[in-house]
Structures are given as structure tokens and as C-alpha cells.
Amino acid sequence: MGSNLNQAGKPSKPNIKQPSLRRNFSWVFIGQLIFTATNWLTTVLLAKLGGPATVGQYSTAVAIVIPIMSMTQLMLRSVLTTDSKSDFRLGDYLMLRIISTIAAIAAIACLLGTGNFTPTIAMCIVWYAVTPTLDGIADIYQAYLQKHEQMTRNGVSQAVRGLLNILLLGVVYALTRDLPTAIFASGISSLLILVGFDLPNSIRLAKALDAQGELPDGLDWRSIVKPRWHPYVMKQLFILALPLGIAVGLTTLNMFLSRLFVVKFLAESDVGIFSGITNLMNLGSQGLLTISTTIMPRLASYRESKDVGSFMGLIRKFGFISVGFGILAVVVAAAFGEKILAACFRHEFALHNDVFVLTMVAGLLFYISLPFGTALTALRVFNSQLWSSGMVTVFAVASGFILVPMYGLKGAAYVTIIAMAVRCIVLTILFAQNRNIITQRTSAE
């Protein structure tokens, strides 16, 4: 009779079921679709209730906070999900995320102290920073689930977070007409989901792995799910993640640079109009980023198993989807843009359909580049992505100072096109240079 004990001397249990890639994608796509839709509906809601100026105040807070948070958070989610050999513990990622988030809050505080913001926008920035602070911690727990391809729970988490967010923000703003208070209320949803969903799900997964004796170094589940203070290990993780973190931070900044130039040179209402239009592009971006998130662990496993054919096949499929979606978005914007903008926002937005079409062209270029960026991250090519993102930033900043004062909102759209075109070209070249990494590793071995 076979033993019922595993190597750790614990009762053996069936292996954790790994859902299919299609099932994982379905759940994450639904969750991310709802989350993205609610983020976009936040803009629509504020446009309907408050007008372009209110949208401008909210969008300014987003444009200030998100790039700083993105850069300091070091894209640890991608580093964790591609850490197929478990070189670092979950607690290492948690502790580094906590430290980097504190640095982000300090940077935002310094910016508020030196910037020339109105009291309302300053309070919007303060309270909006609460949401990505809490979401940043939840992001590490979700990455832990993602690494083990347990994506169903992540999809539910994103959906519920988005629905709670818009519910709290919408109700509070409708009752008070005070935007900072409404933004603070929306942050409560992130706290509820972190404490009530993401953390418990990670604990359940760690317990299951513990029961199977699959945790490293004889650790139990309690030591896995809490932050770990180990300065040397965190230094190594920081050095590994820093290039990708800065690269992604710059990429995020590049997405917001056009909006920041509108903040600098144009009126508050123009910020609201441009933000509403670009948020439509972000709807498509988030959908494709969901695919990227879903296939990342699978690509990492193909990398480790030296399965070049499966790796390239999955990237090609992603590429076909991205290009097709981008072309469709441009066609729809050109044919029905005015009706879409009027229905979603107000008639003031529909007057800028030319900006909408140009923004969708920029979106097409971003969609084309996304599979290449996903492949490079799965291959752990981090350093090269740093200088490539820096190059995009240089072009965007240089063109922004010229085009936005000269052409207004159309100039901001031109800046976005230039930034995404440079990104597309550079990532294509980098992918061509690094696509043989798996083959080289195989030859070396």
C-alpha cells in the first residue's frame, strides 16, 4: 500500500489544479473589462455631473500620481510572475513594494510642496494617492496567484474593486458635489478588496502549497504571506527589478505626458476633454494588457523549458489580435467618433473628433508594440527596455513643448503618436535582437 505522506511528512493532497490558459484568460479578461469599464465610466460620470472642468481636476490628479507610483513600484508583478525558479520569496516582494510605495508618497508630497496646484486639485492628488498605495500591496498578492496560474480569483477581485470604486465615488459625489471627498471614498474599495479578498486568497494558496510540501526551505504558509526584512536579498531584488521598473515607469509617464502638457499650456476644461478622449484609447489598451498579463507565466515556462516554437507561436497570436483590434478602433473612431463622444460625454467632447481619431492612431501603434514588450519581459530582458523607454520620453518631451502650444489638443494627440511610434520602432528592434535568447541558452547548456 502506498504512503499517504509527502516528503514533508504531511498528508498528501491532489496537486493544485492549474486552469487552462483559455479559462485563465476568460476570467481575467472579464474582471479587467469590468474594472477598465468602471474606470472609464468614472470619467463619464464626472463629465455628466460636473462637466469638463471636473474631469480635468480628476485627470490631473491621476496624471500626477500614477506615473510616480508606477516608477517606484518597480513592476514587481512581472518580476514575480516570471520568477519561475523562485529565486525570491513572496515576502521579499512585499517588503520591497512597501518601501518603494513609501518613497512614492514622499515624492508626491515633495511635488505638492513645490508645485502650483489649486487647493482642490492638491486635495484630489492627496486622496487619489490612497488608491494605488493599497492596490500596490494587493498587486503583489495577485502576482503570487498569477505565478501559480490561479487567475480566476484575480479576475473576480478586479471586477468587484472596479464596481465598488465607481459606486462609492458616484454616490458620494452626487450627494456632496465635492470631488476630493468622493475620491477618498472610492479608495475605501481598495482597502476592502485587499483585506477581504486578495490577502485571504493568497493565504489559501500558500496553505495548499504548504500541505503539499511545495514551499521552499521547509517554510510554512505563515512565513510566506507576510513581508520579510532581509536587506541583502531586497538589494538583489531591487537591482534586478530597477531597470524594468524605470522602463515601465517611463512608459506610463509617456502615456500621460500629453495630458501633462495640456495641464501646463491649456485650460482645465481642455484637460477634461483630452482625458475623456484618451480614456477611450485606454479601454482597448487595458483589454490587450489583460492578454499580456495572462500569457506572461506561460511564456516564462516556455522560456525555462526552451520551447521556442510555443513561445513564438503565442506571441504571434497576440500580435494578430493586437493589430486587428487597433485597426478596428481607428475605423470606428473615423466613422462614428462624433456620435460616440456625444453619447459618452457631452457635446463639447464631440467637437474634437479629429483628436479622437488621432488618439486611436496612437493607440494602434501602442497595440502593435505590446506583444514585443511582453516577449521581452518574459525573456527577462529588462535593461534594454530602460533606455528604450527613455528614448520615447525624450521624443515626447521635445515634441510636447513645441506641438501643444502650437496646435492645442491636436498637438497633444500628435505628441502621443510620436511617442508611440518611437516605442513601436525601438521595441521591434529589441525583440529582433533578443528573440534568440532561448536558443542561445539551449546551446550553452
Model pLDDT for residues 220-249, shown as the tens digit of each residue: 666 667 788 888 888 888 888 888 778 778
Residue 11 pLDDT > 60 = no
pLDDT, tens digit (0-9, with 9 covering 90-100), for 78-107: 788 777 677 788 888 889 999 999 999 999
d(CA 423, CA 388): 7
**pLDDT given for residue 15 in this prediction:** 52
Q: How confident is the model at residue 7 (pLDDT cuts 50, 70, 90)?
A: very low
Residue 16 pLDDT > 60 = no
Task: Tell me what percent of the residues of the chain surpass a pLDDT of 70.
Answer: 88
**pLDDT given for residue 441 in this prediction:** 47
What is the distance of C-alpha 315 from the center of its chain?
Answer: 19
Contacts for 239 with CB less than 8 Å, ≥ 6 apart: none
CB 430 within 8 A of CB 247: no
**pLDDT given for residue 442 in this prediction:** 41
Please report where in the chains the cell 480628476 appears, as a residue.
58
pLDDT: which is higher, 178 or 18:
178
Residue 12 pLDDT > 60 = no
- Across residues 248-277, what is the average pLDDT? 83
**pLDDT given for residue 55 in this prediction:** 84
Residue 421 pLDDT > 60 = yes
pTM of structure: 0.72
Please state, in angstroms and as integers, the Cα–Cα distance from residue 243 to each residue in 89, 356, 388, following that order: 20, 33, 11
**pLDDT given for residue 293 in this prediction:** 74
Residue 445 pLDDT > 50 = no
**pLDDT given for residue 355 in this prediction:** 93
Q: What is the mean pLDDT of the chain?
A: 82
pLDDT, tens digit (0-9, with 9 covering 90-100), for 340-378: 888 888 788 888 899 999 999 999 999 999 999 888 888
- Across residues 73-79, what is the average pLDDT? 82
pLDDT, tens digit (0-9, with 9 covering 90-100), for 424-438: 999 999 888 887 776
Q: How confident is the model at residue 408 (pLDDT cuts 50, 70, 90)?
A: very high
What is the distance of C-alpha 106 from the center of its chain?
Answer: 21
**pLDDT given for residue 13 in this prediction:** 38
For the chain, the 3-state helix, strand and coil shares in percent, each to the nearest 5, are 85, 0, 15
Other CB atoms within 10 Å distance of the CB of residue 316: 11
Contacts for 300 with CB less than 8 Å, ≥ 6 apart: 81, 82, 84, 378
- Nearest CA-CA partner of 290 in 321, 258, 328, 245: 321
DSSP three-state, residue 5: strand
Q: How confident is the model at residue 271 (pLDDT cuts 50, 70, 90)?
A: confident
Residue 414 pLDDT > 90 = yes
- Nearest CA-CA partner of 275 in 53, 5, 14: 53
Of 131-135, 314-318, 441-445, least confident by mean pLDDT is 441-445
pLDDT, tens digit (0-9, with 9 covering 90-100), for 30-62: 887 788 888 888 888 888 888 888 888 888 888
**pLDDT given for residue 285 in this prediction:** 79
Residue 151 pLDDT > 50 = yes
d(CA 307, CA 175): 57
**pLDDT given for residue 1 in this prediction:** 35
- Across residues 140-155, what is the average pLDDT? 78
Residue 118 pLDDT > 90 = no
DSSP three-state, residue 266: coil
**pLDDT given for residue 415 in this prediction:** 94
